[in-house]
C-alpha cells in the first residue's frame, strides 16, 4: 500500500485523523469528540480543548493507521488544518503534523478548514466535480461559495453576525437544552409543530445572511412564558425556530443559484446534518455531504490536501495557525 494521504483536524473540539487514497477513497476516519467534556461549561472552552487535543492526537492518528491497515511508510502526504479555528487547538495539530512529517520524511500540506469542508464533496465513488455552487453552514461560518476548481473557491455571500450553527446553539441554550445545542434542538424540533410560532427571516442586501434577529425573537418569546408554559411549548418553539433558520438558508441559496447561473448546488458543514434541513435539500435536488463528513473530520482535510501545495522543510517554522480568514 502506498500513496496514502493522512489528514489531521484539531480546529475546535474534535480530534480527528483519516487516511484516504490519492483518488479519494476513505480508508479510515477516526473522530474523538470532546462534547461530553465541554457540556458542563455549556460550550467549548479553548484551553480545555487544547489540552485534550494533546492527549488525543497520538492515539487518534494511531487508530486511523490501524483501521486503514497502513503504516507511516504508506503515507505520501500529511494534510493538517492550519485555520480558521481556535489557535491553541490548531497549534496542537500543526505541531504534531510538523514533527511527524519531519521525523518520517513525509511532505506536509497545511489546509484551510473551510476548503476541507468543500473537499468533503470530492471523496468516494460519487465525488462531485466542479463547477458548482456551495453553501457552507457550520457553527462558525455561513458562506455562499462558487467552486470553480478543486483547489479553492470564491466567497459570494456570508453572515453579518451569527453563523447558522451558532444560531442553533444559542437557540438551544435559550430553550434550556443541553450541549451540543444544535443536535439537541434538532431532536426536540421533530416532536413540535413549526406552524405555532412565526419567527422573522432577515432581509439583507446581496447574498448575505443575518441570524441575530431570529435569535432575539426567540429570546422574547421565551421571556413571555413561565416555566410551566415553556415546558409545554418548548418543542413547538424549537420547530418554529428551526424552520426560520432553514427557510433563510434555502431562500438564499436559491437566490444565489439564480444570481450565479449555476445549476449544481451543494451543501457542506455541520448544519447540513440537521434532519429538517436535509429533508428540504432533498426536494431541492442539492448534493449534501454524507453525514459522517458534515461535522469536522480528518477525511475532508486529507481530501483538501490533495490540492494544497506542500511546504518545504525550511518553511516549516513559518507555518502558523490562524483564527480567521
Task: Return the CATH number of 4-126+295-318, one of 3.40.50.1860, 3.10.580.10, 3.30.420.40, 2.60.40.10.
Answer: 3.30.420.40
Q: Which helix (H) or strand (E) holds 192?
A: none
Burial tier of 151 (Cβ tally within 10 Å: 0-12, 13-18, 19+): middle
Dihedral sign, Cα of residue 67, residue 71, residue 77, residue 80: positive
Residue 131 sits at φ, ψ, to 5 deg, of -90, 155
Q: What pTM was estimated for this model as a whole? A: 0.95
Q: Do 4-126+295-318 and 132-263 have matching folds?
A: yes
Report the alpha-carbon distance of residue 145 to residue 257 in Å, rounded: 10
Which stretches within 68-158 are classed as H helix?
87-104, 113-119
One pLDDT digit (tens) per residue for the chain, 325 residues: 568 999 999 999 999 999 999 999 999 999 998 877 787 887 888 899 899 999 999 999 999 999 999 999 999 999 999 999 999 999 999 999 999 999 999 999 999 999 999 999 999 999 999 999 999 999 899 999 999 999 999 999 999 999 999 999 999 999 999 888 999 999 999 999 999 999 999 888 899 999 999 999 999 999 999 999 999 999 999 999 999 999 999 999 999 999 999 999 999 999 999 999 999 999 889 999 999 999 999 999 999 999 999 998 878 878 999 998 7
Q: Domain boundaries in the chain?
A: 4-126+295-318, 132-263
Superfamily (CATH) of domain 132-263: ATPase, nucleotide binding domain (3.30.420.40)
Beta bridge partners of 107: none
Amino acid at each position: 500500500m502506498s500513496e496514502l494521504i493522512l489528514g489531521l483536524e484539531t480546529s475546535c473540539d474534535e480530534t480527528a485523523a483519516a487516511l484516504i487514497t490519492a483518488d479519494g477513497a476513505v480508508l479510515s476516519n477516526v473522530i474523538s469528540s470532546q462534547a461530553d467534556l465541554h457540556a458542563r461549561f455549556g460550550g467549548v472552552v479553548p484551553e480545555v480543548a487544547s489540552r485534550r487535543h494533546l492527549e488525543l492526537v497520538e492515539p487518534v492518528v494511531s487508530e486511523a493507521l490501524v483501521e486503514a491497515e497502513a503504516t507511516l511508510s504508506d503515507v505520501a502526504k500529511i494534510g493538517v488544518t492550519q485555520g480558521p479555528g481556535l489557535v491553541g487547538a490548531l497549534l496542537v495539530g500543526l505541531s504534531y503534523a510538523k514533527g511527524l512529517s519531519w521525523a518520517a520524511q513525509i511532505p506536509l500540506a497545511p489546509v484551510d478548514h473551510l476548503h476541507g469542508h468543500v473537499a468533503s464533496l470530492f471523496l468516494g465513488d460519487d465525488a462531485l466535480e466542479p463547477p458548482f455552487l456551495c453553501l457552507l453552514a457550520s457553527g462558525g461560518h455561513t458562506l455562499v461559495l462558487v467552486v470553480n476548481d478543486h483547489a479553492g473557491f470564491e466567497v459570494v455571500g456570508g453572515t453579518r453576525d451569527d453563523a447558522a450553527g451558532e444560531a442553533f446553539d444559542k437557540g438551544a441554550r435559550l430553550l434550556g437544552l443541553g450541549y451540543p445545542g444544535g443536535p439537541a434542538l434538532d431532536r426536540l424540533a421533530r416532536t413540535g409543530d413549526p406552524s405555532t410560532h412565526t419567527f422573522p427571516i432577515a432581509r439583507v442586501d446581496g447574498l448575505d445572511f443575518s441570524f441575530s434577529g431570529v435569535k432575539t425573537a426567540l429570546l422574547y418569546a421565551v421571556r413571555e412564558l413561565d416555566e410551566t408554559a415553556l415546558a409545554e411549548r418548548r418543542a413547538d418553539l424549537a420547530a418554529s425556530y428551526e424552520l426560520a433558520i432553514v427557510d433563510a438558508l434555502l431562500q438564499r441559496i436559491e437566490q444565489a443559484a439564480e444570481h450565479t447561473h449555476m445549476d449544481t448546488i451543494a451543501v457542506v458543514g455541520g448544519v447540513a446534518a440537521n434532519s429538517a434541513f436535509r429533508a428540504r435539500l432533498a426536494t431541492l435536488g442539492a448534493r449534501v455531504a454524507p453525514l459522517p463528513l458534515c461535522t469536522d473530520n480528518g477525511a475532508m482535510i486529507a481530501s483538501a490536501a490533495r490540492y494544497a501545495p506542500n511546504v518545504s522543510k525550511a518553511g516549516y517554522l513559518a507555518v502558523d495557525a490562524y483564527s480567521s480568514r
